[in-house]
């Protein structure tokens, strides 16, 4: 075997082990806590989502122009390799993600050092939180109102606000669609939880503050596990059949694309 090849091979192995050791040491030796940032990157069936753009055709044969894609995420939990869970403080764990208002980053503050392999969160607002009443919602109530995520306090939160226009073989003129999904009392509770594995560990320590890049496929709202045809109903808000189906579809629109373990970002 060529001597130079052996030297290069050994050097690559040493550098790789050193890099891994460096990250491991940053987590295990320094301890502490840091922020975890979650970036929600919206797309449509593999293409970037551009609000107001035309040409997004789904498997139902409908072409959509999407003007609004807002949703609520909540109740974040980070899970390490041993299955230990860190539950983010509930009162601080409600966020609106809005493409039109450029709210696409969630920052979880003061996360304990660890090697996190999975992420769990809710889509919408759980009944326990809602039943605390308007006074129990804190600042989140105003954030939701400012981002079109409320019907009214009595009617509750919109977990998803998905709007635009569409055409199809049978609907040839651009027609407005509105998909507003939420819970309507205990009889129609559409709050769902999502658990996602990380493609690589999210490393948190005093010196490491990871960014989790979440790919979110808006196409799944209508074209997921259940096929929702706008040509049959262009407005879906309180529907005992379609609303739970849309909730299940939304569970499938999230995927952790990659994790960036960056150097410390002061918080």
Q: What is the pLDDT of residues 114-172, one digit of tens each?
A: 999 999 999 999 999 999 999 999 999 999 999 999 998 888 999 999 999 999 999 99
**pTM for the whole structure:** 0.87
Predicted pLDDT at 17: 45
Residue 114 near residue 86 (C-beta atoms within 8 A): yes
Predicted pLDDT at 243: 92
Element (H, E) at 57: strand 56-57
Predicted pLDDT at 264: 60
**How far is 116 from 93, CA to CA, in rounded Å?**
18
Residues 6+ apart with CB under 8 A from 19: none
Predicted pLDDT at 14: 40
Q: Which residues of the chain have pLDDT under 50?
A: 2-23, 26, 28, 265-267
Q: In angstroms, what CA-CA distances link 133 with 66, 89, 127, 137, 158?
A: 33, 18, 10, 7, 16
| 3-9: long-range pairs with CB below 8 Å, 24+ | none
**How far is 213 from 196, CA to CA, in rounded Å?**
12
Residue 69 near residue 103 (C-beta atoms within 8 A): no
């Amino acid at each position: 075997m060529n001597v130079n090849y052996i030297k290069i091979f050994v050097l690559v192995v040493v550098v790789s082990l050193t890099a891994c050791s460096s990250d491991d040491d940053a987590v295990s030796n320094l301890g502490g806590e840091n922020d975890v940032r979650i970036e929600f990157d919206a797309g449509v069936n593999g293409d970037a989502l551009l609000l107001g753009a035309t040409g997004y055709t789904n498997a139902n044969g409908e072409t959509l122009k999407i003007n609004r894609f807002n949703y609520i995420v909540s109740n974040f939990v980070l899970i390490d390799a041993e299955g230990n869970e860190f539950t983010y403080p509930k009162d601080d764990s409600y966020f609106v993600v809005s493409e039109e208002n450029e709210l696409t980053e969630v920052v979880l503050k003061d996360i304990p050092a660890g090697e996190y392999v999975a992420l769990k969160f809710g889509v919408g607002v759980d009944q326990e939180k809602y039943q605390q009443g308007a006074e129990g919602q804190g600042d989140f109530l105003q954030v939701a109102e400012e981002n079109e995520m409320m019907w009214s306090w009595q009617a509750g939160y919109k977990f998803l606000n998905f709007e635009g226009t569409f055409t199809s073989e049978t609907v040839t003129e651009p027609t407005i669609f509105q998909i507003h999904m939420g819970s309507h009392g205990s009889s129609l509770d559409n709050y769902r939880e999502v658990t996602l594995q990380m493609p690589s560990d999210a490393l948190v320590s005093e010196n490491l503050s990871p960014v989790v890049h979440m790919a979110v496929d808006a196409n799944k709202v209508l074209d997921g596990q259940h096929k929702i045809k706008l040509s049959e109903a262009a407005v879906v808000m309180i529907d005992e059949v379609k609303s739970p189906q849309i909730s299940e579809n939304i569970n499938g629109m999230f995927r952790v694309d990659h994790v960036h373990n960056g150097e410390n970002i002061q918080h």
